[in-house]
Amino acid sequence: MKNLTSLALICFVLISGFSSAQPLAVYVSDAGNFNIGPWQIAKFDQNGTFEGALMNTDDDIVWPQDIIFLENDGAVLISNLGPAGNISKHDWASGDFIGDFADGLGGPTRMKIGPDGLLYVLQWSNTVNKVLRYDLDGTFVDEFTSVGVPQSIGIDWDAAGDLYVSSYGTSIVRKFNGTTGIDEGLFINSDLNGPTNIFFEASGNLIVFDYNTGIIKRFDAVGNYVEDVITGLLGPEGFAFFPNGDILIGNGGDGSIKRYDSSYNFLGNFVEPGILLTPNAIVIRDDVPLSVPVNELNAFFVTPTIGSYFTFNTKVTDAYEKLGVYDTIGKLVETVKIAENSVWDASRLSEGSYFLVAIKDGKKASQKIIITNK
């Protein structure tokens, strides 16, 4: 009990010192004039103020598609639809090119860390287009899906862990077994015209961005069309959720980023036209991600820093048996036994800010995360 009390006090002090002052940053992949640029990964503050380009056409990005931050590596991955078919790796603070994470792909588009802790990558090619998997160190694992999905550009998992991939070119959403990658057929094969992003709501319904019609559509848990939730967009692509449930959506027709509440009511432009040409991916994260050093220990336990599924950084967590999860008032809400998990499912916890705290041999460390169940 004494140790738990001490940890709670540590967490409270850390949160008191950092949570109110810690701003969020918004990163946007700008596809420019598609295959001819100019391209950039633009950075905005949490109010939509442009802070400059983290990287641009001169920084080894070509027709960028998606953004994945690897916090424990201090790196960011950019998928590039250019001729090299590569995923480039950059320093997350400066944008400097580190090297290729992967190359020779058939036009990589969306990337997402899956429930198994691997990086899933979609391919645009009409001939080489199975979903690929990589370890987070860049080691190729496999072609995960039994069949390809041409011009694939949307990816998510349902509550049962099955995988869904959208095809812009064929206007479908295909379902795969989440464990084996075996094709389970077309989940949606009508009511779409050029789907891009997809994501599941907590209710089990699937939201689909229909690029060519400018409509965000809702489908039920068996793939039936339900309703239009947003209309009047021009080339919607790219989205991210704020901790309060507000959603940002890229609007390619005028280069704006639009903000909606959790019920899809329009709140206004987060980014006005004129800064971006063709936004196609959005990431929200801590402006300076917190892994607060205590007794000189500083490391990231999990990635990403915002979400509901978190992958353990085993290079760090192998030194510990468990992590304490504390809310913003210093209350212990969960204990995670590291040895039993490679991925921590935090979706059962309420949305908001938390601290992961570990202690061993008198050394303590803490990492701030934000849980959002969207």
CA distance 38 to 352: 37
State whether 308 and 265 are in the same domain. no
State whether 9 and 86 are in the same domain. no
State whether 294 and 340 are in the same domain. yes
Q: Which of 255, 286, 317 corresponds to the end of one domain?
A: 286
State whether 154 and 262 are in the same domain. yes
Which pLDDT belongs to residue 36?
94
The tokens of 205 are what? 């319904």
Q: What is the full DSSP assignment across 127-144?
A: SS-PPEEE-TTS-EEEE-
Which pLDDT belongs to residue 367?
81
Which pLDDT belongs to residue 288?
58
Q: Which of 286, 306, 323 corresponds to the end of one domain?
A: 286
In the chain, which residues have pLDDT < 70? 1-22, 288-299, 329, 340-341, 362-364, 374
State whether 15 and 123 are in the same domain. no
State whether 334 and 194 are in the same domain. no
Among 307, 220, 227, 306, residue whose Cα is nearest residue 263:
227
Which pLDDT belongs to residue 271?
98
CA distance 51 to 217: 32
The tokens of 370 are what? 């934000």
pTM of the shown model: 0.80
For residue range 157-211, list pLDDT tens digits in order. 988 889 999 999 999 999 999 999 999 999 999 999 999 999 998 888 999 999 9
In total, how many domains does the chain have? Answer: 2
Q: Which of 242, 264, 286 corresponds to the end of one domain?
A: 286
Domain range for 348: 2-20+290-371
Which pLDDT belongs to residue 1?
36
State whether 173 and 312 are in the same domain. no
State whether 265 and 344 are in the same domain. no
Burial 273-309 (b: 16+ CB within 10 A, else e): eebbbbbbbbbbbbeebbbbebeebebbbbbbbbbbb
What does pLDDT average to over the chain?
A: 87
